[in-house]
Every structure is written in C-alpha cells, then in structure tokens.
Amino acid sequence: MPELLLEIRSEEIPARMQRRAAEQLKERLTAMLSEAGFTPAKDAVATYAGPRRLTAVVTDLPVAQPDRTVERKGPKVGSPQGAIDGFLKAAGLSSLDQAEQRDSGKGVFYFAVQRQPGRATTEVIAEIVPALIKAFEWPKSMHWATYSQRWVRPLHAILCIFDGKKVEGRIDLGGGELAFTDETVGHRFLAPAPFAVTSFSDYADKLDAACVMVDAAERRAYIARIAGQRAGEGGMQLRVDEGLLDEVTGLVEWPVPLLGKIDDAFMDLPAEVLTTSMRAHLKYFACLRLDDSLAPRFVVVANMENADGGAQVVAGNERVLRARLSDARFFWDQDRKKRLADRVADLKSVLFYQRLGSVAEKAERVAALARWLAARIPACDAALAERAGRLAKADLTTGMVGEFPELQGVMGRYYASHDGEPDMVADAVAEHYAPKGPDDRCPTAPVSVAVALAEKVDTLVGFFAIDEKPTGSKDPFALRRAALGAIRLIIENKLGLGLIELFERAHTLYAGFDRAKADGVARALLDFLADRLKVHLRDQGLKHDIVSAVFAVPGGEDDLVRLIARGEALKSFLASDDGANLLVAYRRAANILRIEEKKDGKRYDRLADPKLFVTPEEAKLHQAIMDIATKADPRLADEDFGGAMAVLAGLRQPVDDFFDRVTVNAEAADLRANRLCLLSQIRVAMDAVADFSKIEG
Amino acid sequence: MAISRPTSFQSLILTLQAYWAEQGCVILQPYDMEMGAGTFHPATTLRALGPDHTWNCAYVQPSRRPTDGRYGENPNRLQHYYQFQVMMKPSPADIQERYLGSLRRLGVDPLAHDIRFVEDDWESPTLGAWGLGWEVWLDGMEVSQFTYFQQVGGIECNPVPAELTYGLERLAMYIQGVDSIFDLDFDGVPKNRGGKTYRDIYHRAEREFSAYNFEHADVDRLFVHFEDAERECARLIEARLALPAYDQVLKASHLFNLLDARGVISVTERQAYIGRVRTLAKSCCETWVG
C-alpha cells in the first residue's frame, strides 16, 4: 500500500531538542491519522531528526480514508417541537423519519446516524500536516520575518509526498504561505542544489548521495565507530561520553571525525580541566592511553568533508583549543597564588540564598556541623572535618570555577593539595557535593562523609525553615536530590544517627533562626526524608508499607540504619509462614476490635484480667503475650530485629488456638470485655516490634 | 602607496561594509558613546522596534567590557574591542546564505572549512531583550552571533529582525593565522614602511584602561553619575525625548559595568542595578514606539 513521506525543513534545530522532536512528530502524526480513521500499525510510522530537517514516513496507508459513521444524539422522543427542529437542522435532516430511535438507558432518544464516505487520503493529509505543524510544541520557539507562525527556527520547506506524488497543499504561516514541495536539499555546503524525490527509499538514497545521514541513530553509531577508529589509529581509545555523543549527533548531517593534537605545553593542567575545556565549548572527545591516562589528542566531529582531508579544519580547531587552554592555564596559575583558606572570606559576597545568608556563613555552619558529625562517624577526625567543611566552597571564588562551574569541588581538591592541606581534607572538598544522584558514587572516607552530609543537611534545614519546600514537580533548589544524597550517605556508610537531633543541631547553627521552631522543622524534614527513603528503598526491593510500618513504631524512629534493619527483618518475617499467618490473625483481632469498639463506643485498651479467663486458650494466649514483652524488648534494645520477629512467631499457635476455640463475643459481658482486651494486647505487643496495621496486600 | 593587504584588520571592516551595502544596508558609523556591544547602538535597539517596517543597517561598533580587561597580557581578551553589526528587518529568508556570502567575500571558503550554526540564545537583561539563534563556528571558533530578535525593551518585535554580530578580532586572528590579538596586522602596510599592528595601536590603551577600570575609577563618583543618568533619563522620558533619554541608558549601563569591574557591586545588588537599567531601557523603547 502507498507511503506518506513528510519532511519539515528549517534552519538549524538545537541539538538538544531533536530527539524529542522526532518522538513528538511520531506521536502527533499517529494520533492525527488515527483520528481521521486510518489505523496505522505501530511500526508503520517512523520519524527522524537532524540539524536541518524532521522527517516522517508512514507505510501502508490506503489511498482513501475509510468510510465513517458519525452519530449525533438528539432530544428525547416526545420533546417539544422547538428542540426537535433544532436537532434536525443541526444534523442536516429533513424529517424525523431519517433519525433512529434508541433507548439509551435513560429514555428513548433520537439519533442522527450519518455515513461519511472516506475522502481521498491526499486531501486528509493536506489538512493534517498544517494542523500538526501548528500544534507542534518546541521547548522554545520563535517568530521570524513577518509571520505569526512559530517554529524553533525559520521554517523553509515542507516536502509532502503520498504514493509517489507531491501532495497538493500548503500551510498558512500567518502573513504568507508555504506550498508543499517534492524537492529537498542535501548538505548545506556539499550538496546545496534542490532535487525531487518520490519515496522514502528514494529520499534516503539521494540524501545519502547528497551528504546527509537522515537517521540520528545511524549518525550516532557512525560517529562512535569512526571516532573510536581515529583514536585507535594513534594507539588510544576514545573516552566514553554518551551525553556528548548525543549532542554531537545533533550538530552534524554528515559526520567526519578528525583527530587533533593537544599542545604538549598544556598537558600538565589537571585532566578534568582539559576534558572540560574540550567538552563544554568545543564538543571534542578526549582520548585515553591504554593506562587510562589522558592522551594529548582529541577527536572533533566535523560536519564537512574537505579536499585536504580535514587538515585545515584540524589546524583551526587546534588553534581554538590552544586559546581556550591558555585561558585555563592563566586561571590555573592565578588561582594557585591565593590559598583556599584565604578565599573563604571572599565568600561573604557570594549569596547562598536570600534569607539564608552568604556562602561564607554556609561554610562556617557546614564546618561546625561536620565537626559535630565527626563524633558520630567511626574513625572521623573532627578537626579535619571542620577544616574541610570551611574550605569546601572556597573554590567558587577561583577563576577556573568561574569559567567552568562544573569543576567546582574538583578544582578545590587540586588547590587544597597545592596549599598542602591533608589529603583527607582535599578529598572531602572534592567529594562534598556527592552523591549527586542515585547512580553517583557515594563518598566513604569518614571526613568526606561528614562534610558531604553536613552540606546537604544544612541546605535541607535552611530551605525547610524558610518554607521553600518542593511542591509537585517544582524543586528549584534540588532538595529531593539533597535528601537522597543524605539518605545514601547515612545508609551506605551505616551511620547510626538520630536525625531529629541532627536537624535540630543544624537549625541552631543558622544565626537568625527562631530556636522554638527547630523541632517543627526537624519533624517536617523527617517526613520529607521518609518519603524519599520509601522511593529509594522501593528501588532496592523494600516496599513502602514496610518502611511505613517501621517508621511508625512507638516513640517514632529517626535512625535510618536501625529502621532499615528492622524493615529487612520484617520483610523476611512476613515472607515466612509464621509471619503471614500472624498477620492474618493480627488483622482479625484489629477488625473485631474496631467493630466492637465502635458498637460499644468505648475502647478496650486495658490489660486483660487473668481471673476472668475460663478457657485454657485464653490463659495460654495471655502467657504468650507476656512472654513476648519480656523476650522481645531486650532483643529490640539490642537491635536484634530478626530475633524480635522470631519471638513474635511464638504467638502464632496460641492466637490460632484462641480464634479456633474461643468465642470473643461471649454472652457474659465481663468475659466479652476481657477477651476484647486480650485482642488489644496482641495488637500492642506486635506494634512494639513494627506497626503491622501499615502492611498492605 | 602600498595597497592594504586584503586580510588586514581594517580591510576586513571595509570589505564587510562594502558587502552589506550591496545587500541594501544603510552603512552607519559607530555610535559616539561607550557601550558594551554593538546591539546597544540605537540603530539596532530602537530601530528593531520601529517606526520603519523595513530597516537594514550595518556598522562597526567599538565595544567596552571593563571586566574583560587583562592589562594587555592575555592574547585573547580585551576591555575594548570591535564588533561588526548587521541588522536586517524583516529577517530575509536567505539571511544565512547572505551571512555565508560575507565570509566568502572575506576569503573564507566554506568548502575548505567546517562552518556550523550551534544553538545559542541571546538575552540582554539590561535591555529587556532576547532572541533565538546560534553562534557560528568556523573550525570550532565562534566568529559570529546570529539572533532573531523576539523582544526589545520588553516589546515584541514585529516584524522580526535578524541580527548578526561579527567578533572582528577573532575573525581577523583566524584569517591572518595569528594566536594573539596584539599580533594582528591592522593596516596591511609592511612594518618597514610604518605598518601598524593591533599592539602598536591598542596595547597601551589596554594597559591603562585596565588600571582605570579595576583600580582607579572613582567609585563614589561613579555611583553619583549612575544616579544622575537615571534621573536625567526619567526627566527626558517625561519630555518624551526617546533618543536623548536612551543616551542616558547607555551611560548608566556603562557606569554599572565600571562599578562591576571595581568589584563593589554584590551579587544581590547586581540584579537590582540591572533591573534599574532595564526599567530605563524599557521606558525609552516605549517612548520611541509610542
């Protein structure tokens, strides 16, 4: 069946928008074709994006739109004549004979049922394409010349071919129009002359001959392969950089990877400075030697095939890199003339956040909090933690970080080492922003852990105290990321810490904060962390209801390490036969209690009176409950949660026997009340280990 | 007289002027006030908004960025440099081709190089202006900025102009194949016949103005001047004199840049000062179109 080919050609589309644009083109085209009654198969629509064109191809479209039945619901049978007349007019019927009567379930109504014969597919396409372009959404779009139409950059041509022939159509740009064409152009410089095409395969072949690789996936794979080869020719390998590969793929229609040389004079600059200089502004790939050290080479992906094999292009790029690196060298030399410790004062003029003071104040707080944390982190030197906390932000005032903000921390380490600071301090300065996400490496060196955690807790407490909490999708200060970072630092380093105390401590370090509000801020932040923890642990295989159950133990839990140990024990227990069975019994007890307490309007939370037991099952259950209290408590105190759960297992038989043989709702009121109290005690005893009422499923 | 070599700094300017004159541009001379970029010239800022439906102009504009001064010691940075500015309104459909034509005229053959248009949106918080476009890469070097203005002074541009800014020193460095701005051949006249390099003409100025910008500019007086300019601007707006009022915007903007170079404006104050200049710029633009 025939094929539709659409190409929307414009001036250069930003690389970062291309992938999503191809996806959107596919979604919208599929939806609009479906709405028009075509039912394109899932793989019948393919789209492609590049710097100067978005392309779509739809295979297997019929030459005519399928016939469609359109129904219009009218008034109820027996409605006033006015309503009937209105319906007939709107539906284009001359009398009610042409309408059907149908029982809708809410009475009998008139329905106008009309068959719409399908139109020629070309006609439908001529409508769909302009509508698609008008509805298209770019992250940023613009006007050009005198038109009211918006596009990401000026729109130049719409190639639209169906079944081998140009579709007659046009788009109104608002102040002008663009007629569909069957012509396109190749590479801007290598093949600028227009040519006509008849099908996608014709299009792809001719564009390939005209130096355009239409498919971004193909361009990406080609770049990776050839760039790797170029590096390999020099006995090196390409430094893997998927993000850069994506970006470069969007900057070229005809990728030509070329190998360039880094002037030896710059090879003593820190490796991160070299790679960042090359990556950020120039989009070069770094090359590594076999020992993973940085080689004095780079790969630039040109969009051009030159007669000289790229010699002039490489020479030009090498010169640009030299200029960039001389700038970097200037910063590197200048920055080292002033000690990091002497830069701390300069942070006074750098604002942290309006109501949270300067970065200098933040550095002091982080230093103090890191010192406090050091006492709670095994083998952590308090003086070093404080020192590192104070120096952590000082590199923000250096020229290098001003030029390359992404090198914050990393440069701090180099400058700290240069100043002769201890390695542990230099490492902590470098690592204090980590972990920046779920996949980032989490610091493990004690001093680094102290400073990284202090930094995050200070930020969280500060923003919570001034009520700048994340809402919905809005999280302008990346507090969710900070919270996840804090959680990972704590649990991956197994830091037994009372978070409430930590948060209150951080709160008192803010000079202007009202001390009376510290507890409220700490509680709110703990709730926030609990939510983040649930997300984090869910990814690690611990369900949110288990986390809720262990957070809600009597007295609350704010020590994440203990909480997770208890959660893991609970998870295993619930997976065991005893645990599953006991959960059923727990729920049965809780249900009965809820119903009876509601009926009686009072609570049965007294201790059961052994004198009122009439069956051995009651006495045995009572004894088992007593045993639990005496046996589970010391285990909980020792944080032997598996042991505490095992004690709970001892309840199973007595509880089962109780429910099998004892009628809770006995005739005698005092017996009934006493048995309800016994059920209540089951609940209390179990909740001391974990709040079983939170368990779902 | 020896004929100036075609790659000299000054012939670059002459060539661009001739080329854009052929494209129908009014060739203007630099505006006679200190400004941070060619965009601030009223022929761009105000004419982007009106009154003419069609406005095509080109000019060279000395630009001052006090914080970029390096006492003449950095081969790539200057506190005073030249921009060549082109604005065509409405943006012609072939403006990219016209721009490439200018490079060809300068002797840059696109087939021998790698020329690319890389996303770079432009925003001037002081002018309340923004647009979308690219930086143009010539073998990796950014040689021009290309912008479709969307707003100026907070007012929508209709028609939309295309603005091109050539970094003349960079372009000349590329064309002449030198690694330091100061080594640029300025006039194309051989050294032994009195020919001048960029160093001969501007190195002392870079040294002295860097010292002025960073060390000697009288901060208290600059603050007073800033407020004077602000007040004068407001007064002229009252009198509905858009162009003289706009001159005061230029003054205020440059004074702010000097204060910034002196390091006396904190991060928080910075936004406030930019906001004050923007308010002035907006009222000038409103008065201009109103």
Three-state secondary structure readout of A1-14: CCCEEEEEEECCCC
Burial class of A264 by CB neighbour count within 10 A (0 to 12, 13 to 18, 19+): exposed
pLDDT of amino acid B267? 64
Distance (Å, whole) CA B279 – CA B290: 16
**Residue A260 backbone phi and psi in degrees, to 5:** -120, 170
Size of interface A-B (CB pairs under 8 A): 114
In chain B, which residues have their Cβ closer than 8 Å to the Cβ of A190? 111
Residue A347, both tokens = 């942070």
In chain A, which residues have their Cβ closer than 8 Å to the Cβ of B268? 351, 354
**Residue A164 backbone phi and psi in degrees, to 5:** 85, -5
Q: Calculate how close chain B gets to A695, using CA atoms only, in Å.
A: 50
In chain A, which residues have their Cβ closer than 8 Å to the Cβ of B131? 142
CB-closest option in B77, B159, B266 to A349? B266
Residue B136 host element (H or E): strand B129-138
pLDDT of amino acid A99? 86
- Mapped onto helix, strand or coil, the DSSP state of residue A82 is helix
Are residues A306 and B112, on separate chains, in Cβ contact within 8 Å? yes
Helix then strand count (H, E) for chain B reads 8, 9
Distance (Å, whole) CA B116 – CA A251: 8
A-interface mutation test, from B89, B130, B139, B270, most A Cβ less than 10 A away = B139
CB-closest option in B132, B141, B174 to A140? B132
CB-closest option in B75, B134, B140 to A12? B134
Distance in angstroms between the alpha carbons of the first and the last residue of chain A: 51
Task: Answer whether A120's CB lies under 8 Å from A63's CB.
Answer: yes
pLDDT of amino acid A114? 84
Are residues A326 and B115, on separate chains, in Cβ contact within 8 Å? no
Q: For residue A625, what are the contacts with CB-CB under 8 A and spacing of at least 6?
A: A651, A678, A681, A682, A685
Residue type, A553: V
User: Is the Cβ of B159 closer than 8 Å to some Cβ of chain A?
Assistant: yes
Of A346, A351, A453, A436, nearest in space to A391 by CA: A346
pLDDT of amino acid A247? 96
pLDDT of amino acid A176? 93
Are residues A349 and B267, on separate chains, in Cβ contact within 8 Å? yes
Alpha-carbon distance values, A453 to A366, A371, A465 (Å): 9, 11, 18
Residue type, A105: G
Residue A556, both tokens = 């609350």
Low-confidence residues in chain A, pLDDT < 70: none
Q: Calculate how close chain A gets to B284, using CA atoms only, in Å.
A: 24
Query: Residue A48 gets which letter from DSSP?
Result: E
Q: Calculate how close chain B gets to A252, using CA atoms only, in Å.
A: 8
Burial class of A345 by CB neighbour count within 10 A (0 to 12, 13 to 18, 19+): exposed
Are residues A251 and B116, on separate chains, in Cβ contact within 8 Å? yes
Task: Answer whether A40's CB lies under 8 Å from A61's CB.
Answer: yes
Task: Answer whether A448's CB lies under 8 Å from A428's CB.
Answer: yes
Q: For residue A331, what are the contacts with CB-CB under 8 A and spacing of at least 6?
A: A398, A399, A400, A402, A403
User: Is the Cβ of B150 closer than 8 Å to some Cβ of chain A?
Assistant: yes
Q: Calculate how close chain A gets to B214, using CA atoms only, in Å.
A: 16
Mean pLDDT computed over every residue of chain A: 92
Q: Calculate how close chain B gets to A573, using CA atoms only, in Å.
A: 56
- Mapped onto helix, strand or coil, the DSSP state of residue A180 is coil
Distance (Å, whole) CA B47 – CA B66: 27
In chain A, which residues have their Cβ closer than 8 Å to the Cβ of B157? 143
Nearest CA in chain A to B76: A323
Q: Calculate how close chain B gets to A262, using CA atoms only, in Å.
A: 14
The 10 Å Cβ neighbour count of residue B79 is 23
Are residues A145 and B75, on separate chains, in Cβ contact within 8 Å? no
Are residues B113 and A317, on separate chains, in Cβ contact within 8 Å? no
Are residues A317 and B140, on separate chains, in Cβ contact within 8 Å? yes
- Mapped onto helix, strand or coil, the DSSP state of residue B151 is strand
**Residue B29 backbone phi and psi in degrees, to 5:** -100, 165
User: Is the Cβ of B111 closer than 8 Å to some Cβ of chain A?
Assistant: yes
pLDDT of amino acid A637? 86
Query: Residue A265 gets which letter from DSSP?
Result: G
Distance (Å, whole) CA A650 – CA A644: 10
> Which of B 48-67 lie inside 8 A of A, CB atoms?
none
Distance (Å, whole) CA A252 – CA A299: 14
Tell me, what's the ipTM? 0.95
Are residues B150 and A143, on separate chains, in Cβ contact within 8 Å? yes
Of A158, A241, A200, A186, nearest in space to A51 by CA: A186
B-interface mutation test, from A148, A283, A320, most B Cβ less than 10 A away = A320
User: Is the Cβ of B92 closer than 8 Å to some Cβ of chain A?
Assistant: yes
Q: Where are the alpha helices (DSSP H) in chain B?
A: 9-22, 42-45, 95-105, 168-176, 198-211, 219-238, 242-261, 267-289
Q: Calculate how close chain B gets to A147, using CA atoms only, in Å.
A: 8
Given the structure tokens 């850069």, which residue do they identify? Answer: A244
Are residues A354 and B268, on separate chains, in Cβ contact within 8 Å? yes
**Residue A538 backbone phi and psi in degrees, to 5:** -60, -45
Are residues A312 and B74, on separate chains, in Cβ contact within 8 Å? no
Distance (Å, whole) CA A490 – CA A502: 12
pLDDT of amino acid B1? 40
pLDDT in tens, B135-180: 999 999 999 999 999 999 999 999 999 999 999 999 999 899 898 9
Distance in angstroms between the alpha carbons of the first and the last residue of chain B: 52
Are residues B148 and A143, on separate chains, in Cβ contact within 8 Å? yes
- Mapped onto helix, strand or coil, the DSSP state of residue A235 is coil
Distance (Å, whole) CA A212 – CA A219: 9
User: Is the Cβ of B234 closer than 8 Å to some Cβ of chain A?
Assistant: no
Nearest CA in chain B to A12: B117
Are residues A321 and B140, on separate chains, in Cβ contact within 8 Å? yes
Given the structure tokens 């994340």, which residue do they identify? Answer: A470
Residue B118 host element (H or E): strand B115-119
The 10 Å Cβ neighbour count of residue A633 is 14
pLDDT of amino acid B17? 97
A-interface mutation test, from B55, B99, B114, B146, most A Cβ less than 10 A away = B114
Distance (Å, whole) CA A60 – CA B200: 71
Distance (Å, whole) CA B189 – CA B182: 16
Distance (Å, whole) CA A616 – CA A613: 8
Are residues A140 and B121, on separate chains, in Cβ contact within 8 Å? yes
- Mapped onto helix, strand or coil, the DSSP state of residue B45 is helix
- Mapped onto helix, strand or coil, the DSSP state of residue A153 is coil
Distance (Å, whole) CA A629 – CA A621: 13
Are residues A323 and B179, on separate chains, in Cβ contact within 8 Å? yes
Residue A397 host element (H or E): none
Query: Residue A80 gets which letter from DSSP?
Result: -
Nearest CA in chain B to A302: B114
Of A600, A481, A609, nearest in space to A535 by CA: A481
Distance (Å, whole) CA A664 – CA A658: 9
Sheet holding A4-10, edge to edge: A45-49, A53-58, A4-10, A155-162, A165-166
Given the structure tokens 């929307």, which residue do they identify? Answer: A8
Q: For residue A177, what are the contacts with CB-CB under 8 A and spacing of at least 6?
A: A170, A171
pLDDT of amino acid B4? 47
Nearest CA in chain B to A52: B117
pLDDT of amino acid B5? 57
Alpha-carbon distance values, A50 to A183, B119, B214 (Å): 17, 13, 46
User: Is the Cβ of B130 closer than 8 Å to some Cβ of chain A?
Assistant: no
Are residues A16 and B114, on separate chains, in Cβ contact within 8 Å? no
- Mapped onto helix, strand or coil, the DSSP state of residue A474 is strand
Q: What is the DSSP track for B157-220? A: -SSPPEEEEEEHHHHHHHHHT-SSGGG-BSS---GGGT--BHHHHHHHHHHHHHHIIIIIS-HH
Cis peptide before A51 (omega within 30 of 0): no
Q: Write out chain B's pLDDT in tens, 290 residues.
A: 444 457 899 999 999 999 999 999 999 999 999 999 999 999 999 999 989 999 999 999 999 999 999 899 888 889 999 999 999 999 999 999 999 999 999 999 999 999 999 999 999 999 999 999 999 999 999 999 999 999 999 999 999 999 999 999 999 998 998 989 999 999 999 999 999 999 999 999 999 999 999 999 999 999 999 999 999 999 999 999 999 999 999 999 999 999 988 888 876 678 889 999 999 999 999 999 98
Are residues A350 and B160, on separate chains, in Cβ contact within 8 Å? no
User: Is the Cβ of B268 closer than 8 Å to some Cβ of chain A?
Assistant: yes
Query: Residue A610 gets which letter from DSSP?
Result: G
Are residues B158 and A146, on separate chains, in Cβ contact within 8 Å? yes
The half-sphere exposure of B270 on its side-chain side, counting CA atoms within 13 A, is 15
Are residues B118 and A251, on separate chains, in Cβ contact within 8 Å? yes
Distance (Å, whole) CA B286 – CA B280: 10
Of A340, A333, A379, A338, nearest in space to A494 by CA: A379
Residue type, A606: R
Residue A177, both tokens = 């129009």
Task: Answer whether A414's CB lies under 8 Å from A328's CB.
Answer: no
Are residues B139 and A315, on separate chains, in Cβ contact within 8 Å? yes
Q: For residue A42, what are the contacts with CB-CB under 8 A and spacing of at least 6?
A: none
**Residue A471 backbone phi and psi in degrees, to 5:** -130, 130
User: Is the Cβ of B119 closer than 8 Å to some Cβ of chain A?
Assistant: yes
Q: Calculate how close chain A gets to B233, using CA atoms only, in Å.
A: 30
Residue A558, both tokens = 């704010």
Task: Answer whether A249's CB lies under 8 Å from A216's CB.
Answer: yes
